[in-house]
Structure 1
């Protein structure tokens, strides 16, 4: 579920929303921070979240910070987290519900920051509120929709939740409210968007997309089993647990 075995072309084709978001992260970073084009720099200033400006009626700043990042490393680790955790949820929910969930959680994080943070000139940006919203949906699955997620992946989500919550409070310069309200937003919208959701299956994704290309092509289900997607070796989960921990550590540390 969280182990990416797709090729680059498959990933873009199977998960178009996640692919678009990751591409947007780096495109905006390239224009705003690397090339520092005048219009792009102005666009970044126009989009950064700041409580005083939101209070002054610039309500778009509850949305635009979701897509902006402070530097390349910030964009990289937010995108890495999205690539790890977003694809399975996009496949389970469908493109439309995934977009609704992502925006809802991101806005919830920014709105919570606006309402609760007393500093009128506090500024913030980054996709982490929306990404914590993804964790919130998975956490809801673990607690209330156990048929959608197996035991091994449930343990990964619980570990990520515990580590993320600890590091949110332990590290300096973190938008604590953005993380917490993004997580709450994802958890709150989960009962609605998980209606009719199905367990993630890479084989089903491949089969569906292959059939859309040609009805004449037949598939052997054992073909995908040859790649041994179903093995749940301890070593694999330990390895990915370490990778996820490092990614989350860098994500929270950079925000």
Structure 2
């Protein structure tokens, strides 16, 4: 039973969401005409990893238990390592990493702000959902960039060390029906915003005419997301 949040044992407990202020065939979709230029691709991918690191770092501070802090810091360290490798790739193939990332800073910071939950458990789940879906998407997109894309695939395809966070959430979900319901609603709220971020990475002028071409990718993203939710014990 989760007990870190309720200290005075209130007679009634109601959890509410705060008000909002493997891809298979998808990797074989031809993104050549939809994919952005390599600087945009790398800049977005690198800044997303930095965002995961920042969110996880915030979680470390907000989480009281030492064991949970260690689990979160492990995932944070891996996100930062991936960010640094992508920055090195930008410097090697494009130029200044800051110039590559800056155009997406405002949009992605706004998105990340929407993923910060009222409670640490919500933010943990948000990282698993958003990072899982967007890493899958950028892995699919990487096939459009030759050797650069293969290097990105190797970076993003490595372990993200989020398994211990998954275990924390599974324990919470399996022991508390109210938490399970709350986190299921939170997960559904996050999916739409995450898909919008993925779509915004593509060349907008081609989206309307090539909708059928990209549909399998988003279908596969949702299927992979559903599997992750099932593994956590949540309704997708």
- What TM-score, normalized by structure 2, do the two folds share? 0.32
Instruction: Identify which of structures 1 and 2 has the higher relative contact order when contacts are C-alpha pairs closer than 8 Å and 6+ apart.
Output: 2
- What TM-score, normalized by structure 1, do the two folds share? 0.30
